[in-house]
Amino acid sequence: MRKGILLTVASATLLASLTACGDSSSDDGGGTGSDGATPRIGVILPDSKSSARWETADRKYLAEAFEAAGVEYDIQNAQGDKQDFQTIADQMITNGVNVLMIVNLDSGTGKAVLDKAKSQGVATIDYDRLTLGGSAQYYVSFDNTEVGRLQGEGLAACLEEKGVEQPLVATLNGSPTDNNALLFAEGYNGVLDPKYDSGEYTKGPDQSVPDWDNAEAATIFEQMLTSEPGINGVLAANDGLGNAAIAVLRKQNRNGEVPVTGQDATVQGLQNILAGDQCMTVYKAVKKEAEAAVRLAVSLARGEEAETNATVHDPEGDRDVPSVLESPEAIFRDNVKDVIEDGYVTKEELCTGDYAALCEEAGIN
């Protein structure tokens, strides 16, 4: 396995504080770039299949933050196609973006795009996923090892609550080309490996899911369950993979019996938690992540330095990347309401049909 990135939280602000930027039409030029023109920022999202969040959350929150900053922006989705990803980047550079922000599909494709942007004088930001060996000037994400640790601890808590002794645990890892997936695994394996080593848990099938493909995850888990019918715990790296496992368990009337983890606090994942089919998820406040990324993008477009709270070491590029990292939160049935109160998911979206009564039981009023 490729060596994960190393995180060092800064003990003090690493760079100068970002001056608040006003409307681009204001007389003081608050929203203008270093040359007096209104900044134009391009964003490339990876797909809409690996997680619903890219379209339901990131696009929305990025657009809102760009609007508030008074800058021009272009948000496009590569839909998992590496060639389209590069084509979109070329078009954005040709159309004169000052800053290019990407969520890479893999580090190779991401590096090629970042290096080309740099050669054209375009500033760059890695959003959510670090491009190993890349050249982005900033990185904005969550503490992804902590995400995995919360998943591992969450699964352990749910197995204990169910009174399962010496559980056989299966693992559905994220895409092997996504550096975040390696960090999630680093986090949850840090919790589970000592339990395997001591004999408290039994390590079951452990497999990565290419491109976070949910349909493929269902096939993989079905094969896992066929080879190891006694699986009684599933570490699934996100809600989509978790739902794929739940669908397979449901065919055998074992949904709710076998704890399953997740990540992203999607409507589907939260509904599975309310129904008792999913043990927990990890909520990442995407709004904070998006707003931090936009602040950095605007500062780059204006030729300013920005405030960060960490550095992340890229082992392939052997460099430390100034970063903003937000904190994740574990979500169980008793605190699903936290996600609603934060505005990430609405009650109307979540509490439909049969879930209305379940929402009421969970204190979502």
Which amino acid appears at position 295 of this protein? R
The stretch 189-218 carries a mean pLDDT of 98
The pair phi, psi for residue 54, each rounded to 5°, is -60, -40
User: Within the chain, what is the greatest distance between any pair of CA atoms?
Assistant: 69
- The DSSP annotation for 265-277 comes to --HHHHHHHHHTS
Distance of CA 86 to the CA centre of its chain: 21
> What integer pLDDT is reported at residue 25 of this predicted model?
31
User: Rounded distance, CA 211 to CA 234, Å?
Assistant: 19
Separation in Å, CA 62 to CA 58, 314, 318: 6, 25, 30
**Cβ(214)–Cβ(244) under 8 Å?**
yes
- The DSSP annotation for 295-364 comes to HHHHHHHTT-----SEEEEETTTTEEEEEEEEPPEEE-GGGTHHHHHTTSS-HHHHS-TTHHHHHHHTT-
By CB neighbour count within 10 A (0-12 exposed, 13-18 middle, 19+ buried), where does 347 fall?
A: middle
By CB neighbour count within 10 A (0-12 exposed, 13-18 middle, 19+ buried), where does 275 fall?
A: middle
* C-alpha closest to that of 141 among 334, 305, 7: 7
Separation in Å, CA 303 to CA 34, 100, 105: 6, 14, 28
Query: Is pLDDT of 16 > 50?
Result: no
User: Rounded distance, CA 11 to CA 175, Å?
Assistant: 33
The stretch 277-285 carries a mean pLDDT of 98
Q: Over the stretch 61-113, which tens digit does the pLDDT of each residue have?
A: 999 999 999 999 999 999 999 999 999 999 999 999 999 999 999 999 999 99
> What integer pLDDT is reported at residue 32 of this predicted model?
54
**Cβ(295)–Cβ(41) under 8 Å?**
no
User: Rounded distance, CA 101 to CA 107, Å?
Assistant: 14
Query: Is pLDDT of 9 > 50?
Result: no
Q: Over the stretch 292-342, which tens digit does the pLDDT of each residue have?
A: 999 999 999 999 988 899 999 999 999 999 999 999 999 999 999 999 999
Question: What pTM did the predictor assign?
Answer: 0.86
Count Cβ atoms below 10 Å from residue 13 Cβ, excluding itself: 11
Helix residue spans in the chain (DSSP H) = 53, 59-69, 82-94, 107-119, 144-161, 179-198, 214-227, 239-251, 267-275, 286-301, 337-341, 347-350, 355-361
> What integer pLDDT is reported at residue 7 of this predicted model?
42
Q: Which token pair is 184?
A: 């999630």
